[in-house]
Amino acid sequence: MTAADLVQRADSITTAGRDAVASASSLDELTEVERAFLGKSSPLNEIRESIKSVDGRDRATVGKAVSSARAALEAAVAERRVVLEAEAAAASATRDRLDLTIRGRDYVRGHLHPVTRIWRELEDVFVGMGYQVAEGPEVELDWYNFEALNFPPGHPARAMQDTLYVRLGRREEVLLRTHTSPVQIRVMEAQRPPIYTVMPGRVFRRDTLDARHSPVFHQIEGLAVDRGITLGDLLGTIEAFIHALFGSDIRARFLPSFFPFTEPSVEFAMSCVFCRGEGCTVCSRTGWIELGGAGMVDPNVFAAVDIDPETYTGFAFGFGIDRVVQLMYGVDHVKNLWDGDARFARQF
Ligand code: DAH
């Protein structure tokens, strides 16, 4: 080939190389192009090899053409590399970006079960009146649940509380407590008067489930033992807690009743919170809602715990917490309270 041919080839290689550089779309492709046009076995190197075959005075011309072709291509590659590196950096910045605006995991914040809430509210009301809070066992001895409360074996009042017995000890000696009243005995055993204590807890009866009865339910018991406690104190205390819980326009009513462990005994009711005493379906048109039982502690109960009934008198009361919850929240069936259905619980 003549020198002129070689110079021309160098020029066309430059043009082709520039095109290839321009169309390289990644750093890898650019490296490929660089190797092909500037590497050891590139056409430009071949031209340099063939300088030997050119006339002496033309060699410099061809040499210059190859050098300027190399220089032009090197510059094009370098320029393109800067662009491609910037693009690659931008792409990885997007790809590897931490999206700090993404939401965290949602944790649903729950709340107390309505029965737990009223349980605690009742405790608060009585603590506010100077009472202490005590709890007793759910699996109880016949002695505490009945006998010490003046229900002797075979006493007909035992039949009022359908009992669930546990196969432990002597026959019918161990049972699931049917009320919170046995905690009165435990408190009086553990402590001498003055006693002002409320005793909330879970109780059990062999009852068939219906809208207002469940075999498992909750009661709160109250006990005050001191010098000079009267029935008037009992009535005033019950009225005070009804006012605290339901409002001062709600009235308390007492009817004579019977419980083995109190004498005299009463049942207490409050005027209906829904119809304000007018009569509605909740209060069965009576205007009153039965809450629980109460009375003056029977001297036989004091004898069981060795408290002198000549020195001390006392009153006791007990009522269902679940009933109060049903009333306050208008829960028509008790089973709704314990089904464990979150859709129900979320309403409160
Ligand atoms: N323990 C009784 C019941 O479950 C309720 C009760 C009545 C409790 C009179 C008392 C009371 O403390 O004096 O039916």
Q: What is the pLDDT of residues 154-193, one digit of tens each?
A: 888 888 888 999 999 999 999 999 999 999 999 999 999 9
* pLDDT confidence of residue 160: 81
Assess whether the C-beta atom of 114 lies below 6 angstroms from ligand 1. Answer: no
Res. 346 pLDDT band, cuts 50 70 90:
confident
Alpha carbon separation from 141 to 48, 243, 262, 296 (Å, rounded):
112, 35, 20, 24
In the chain, DSSP assigns E strands to 132-133, 139-141, 164-166, 174-176, 195-204, 216-226, 252-259, 262-271, 288-297, 313-320
Residue that the structure tokens 């210059």 belong to: 64
Q: Is the pLDDT of residue 251 over 80?
A: yes
Token pair recorded at residue 324: 């109060």
Q: Which of 140, 146, 158, 179 to mutate to test the pocket of ligand 1 (most atoms within 8 A of CB)?
A: 179
Q: What's the pLDDT score for residue 213?
A: 87
Closest CA to 283 of 212, 179, 207: 212
Q: Is the pLDDT of residue 232 over 90?
A: yes
CA of 326 from ligand 1 middle (Å) equals 19
Q: Which atom of ligand 1 is nearest to the CA of 221?
A: 12
- Answer yes or no: is the C-beta of 292 below 6 A from any ligand 1 atom: yes
Q: Is the CB of 295 under 6 A from ligand 1?
A: yes
- The pLDDT assigned to 276 comes to 84
Strand partners, 229: none
Residue-wise pLDDT tens digits, 74-132:
888 889 899 889 998 998 988 888 888 878 888 888 899 999 999 999 999 999 999 99
Which residues, 6 or more positions from 68, have their beta carbon under 8 angstroms from its beta carbon?
10
Q: What is the pTM of this model?
A: 0.71
Residue 329 to residue 347: CA distance in whole angstroms = 10
- For residue 315, the model assigns a pLDDT of 98
Give 176 Cα–ligand 1 centroid separation in angstroms.
Answer: 16
- What local confidence, expressed as pLDDT, does residue 194 receive? 98
Q: Is 308 exposed, middle or buried (0-12, 13-18, 19+ CB in 10 A)?
A: exposed
pLDDT at 215 over 90: yes
Structure tokens at 13: 């290689």
pLDDT tens-digit series, residues 147-158: 999 998 888 888
Centre of ligand 1 to C-alpha 319, Å, is: 7
Task: Out of 140, 181, 254, give the residue to mutate to test ligand 1, the one with the largest number of ligand atoms within 8 Å of its CB.
Answer: 181
Which of 191, 59, 75, 177 has its CA nearest to residue 134? 191
Q: How far is the CA of 57 from the centre of ligand 1 (A)?
A: 129
Residue-wise pLDDT tens digits, 46-87? 888 888 888 888 888 888 888 888 988 888 888 989 988 999
Q: Return the pLDDT at 150.
A: 96
CA of 67 to the centre of ligand 1 (A): 112
Q: Give me the helices (H) in 3-55, please.
A: 3-23, 27-38, 43-49
Ligand 1 pocket test, pick from 177, 261, 268, 302 with the greatest ligand atom count within 8 Å of Cβ, gives 261
Smallest CA separation from ligand 1 atom 13, residue: 294
Side-chain-side CA neighbours of 36 within 13 Å: the count stands at 15
Tokens for 226? Answer: 């001191």
Question: From the CA of 315, how far away is ligand 1's center (Å)?
Answer: 11
340 pLDDT higher than 90: no
178 Cα nearest atom in ligand 1: 4
